[in-house]
C-alpha cells in the first residue's frame, strides 16, 4: 500500500515537470493597479486644469487650513465648509509657484463672496482675501514685478496690485478698474467653463 502511494506521488511530480517543459505554466495574474491609477490620472488631466490638481499638495493645504485657519472651529464645520480648490501660478517670475486657495461653504462665504488665500510655495500667507467672487483673472501685465489680478465685485471689475508684500485684501472697497474686461492673455482661475478646478476636502 505504501509502495502504491509513493508511485502515485512520483507520477504527479513527473506530470508537473512535463507541464512546465511543454509551456503549460499557469499565466501570471496581471496587476491592474498601475493601469487603473494611470487611467484616473488621465481622466483628471482631461477634466481639470492642470494647475488645480495635485493630491500631495492638496493634503498639505488641507492640513494648513485645519491647523492654522479653522483650528478653533473645526468641530462646527459641516461637509460643505470643508471643501476647497486651489490654483498654482508664478506671480513674480521667481520660478516658484504661488498658490491661490478658494474656500467654500457658509463658514467662508457670504453675500459678497468667499475667502480666498494666496500662499507662498512653503504655505506662508501672502494675502488673505475677503469677499472674492470667482473667476479670478491673472494678467500677464505686472506692477512692481508682480502680476496684476482682476476680480469682479458687485458687477464691477476691480484691479488688485501687489504693494508692500501683499495684495489688497478686500476688493469691494477698491475703485473700479479703468476698463471693463480682462485682457485676452489673462489666466483664468476658478471658472468651471474655462479652468475647472478639482475640489478637495480637509
Residue 20: per-residue pLDDT: 46
The 10s digit of each residue's pLDDT in 1-31 is: 555 455 455 555 555 455 444 444 545 555 5
Residue with cell 472697497: 173
Residue 89: per-residue pLDDT: 98
The residues with which 113 forms a beta bridge, in sequence order, are: 110
Residue 38: per-residue pLDDT: 54
**Exposure pattern of 150-181 as b/e (b: 16+ CB <10 Å)?**
bbbbeeebbbbebeeeebbbebbebeebeeee
Residue 46: per-residue pLDDT: 79
Spatial contact of 51 and 198, defined as CB atoms under 8 Å apart: no
Rounded Cα distance between 182 and 159, Å, is 10
Residue 48: per-residue pLDDT: 94
Tell me the Ramachandran region of residue 79: left when phi exceeds 0, alpha when psi lies from -120 to 50, beta otherwise: alpha
Rounded Cα distance between 144 and 34, Å, is 46
The 10s digit of each residue's pLDDT in 65-101 is: 999 999 999 999 999 999 999 999 999 999 999 999 9
Residue 120: per-residue pLDDT: 98
Q: Summarize the confidence of residues 47-73 as an average pLDDT.
A: 96
The HSE-up count of residue 48 (CA atoms within 13 Å, CB side) is: 20
Residue 123: per-residue pLDDT: 98
Rounded Cα distance between 75 and 37, Å, is 33
The reported pTM is 0.79
Amino acid at each position: 500500500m505504501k509502495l502504491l502511494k509513493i508511485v502515485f506521488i512520483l507520477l504527479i511530480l513527473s506530470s508537473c515537470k512535463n507541464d512546465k517543459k511543454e509551456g503549460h505554466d499557469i499565466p501570471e495574474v496581471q496587476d491592474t493597479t498601475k493601469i487603473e491609477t494611470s487611467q484616473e490620472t488621465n481622466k483628471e488631466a482631461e477634466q481639470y486644469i492642470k494647475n488645480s490638481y495635485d493630491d500631495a499638495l492638496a493634503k498639505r493645504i488641507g492640513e494648513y487650513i485645519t491647523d492654522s485657519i479653522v483650528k478653533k472651529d473645526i468641530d462646527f464645520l459641516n461637509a460643505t465648509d470643508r471643501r476647497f480648490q486651489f490654483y498654482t501660478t508664478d506671480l513674480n517670475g521667481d520660478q516658484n509657484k504661488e498658490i491661490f486657495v478658494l474656500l467654500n461653504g457658509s463658514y467662508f462665504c457670504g453675500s459678497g463672496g468667499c475667502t480666498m488665500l494666496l500662499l507662498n510655495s512653503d504655505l506662508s500667507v501672502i494675502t488673505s482675501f475677503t469677499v472674492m467672487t470667482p473667476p479670478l483673472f491673472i494678467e500677464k501685465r505686472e506692477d512692481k514685478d508682480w502680476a496684476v489680478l482682476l476680480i469682479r465685485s458687485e458687477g464691477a471689475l476691480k484691479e488688485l496690485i501687489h504693494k508692500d508684500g501683499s495684495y489688497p485684501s478686500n476688493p469691494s472697497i477698491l475703485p473700479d478698474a479703468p476698463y471693463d474686461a480682462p485682457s485676452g492673455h489673462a489666466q483664468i482661475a476658478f471658472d468651471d467653463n474655462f479652468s475647472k478646478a478639482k475640489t478637495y476636502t480637509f
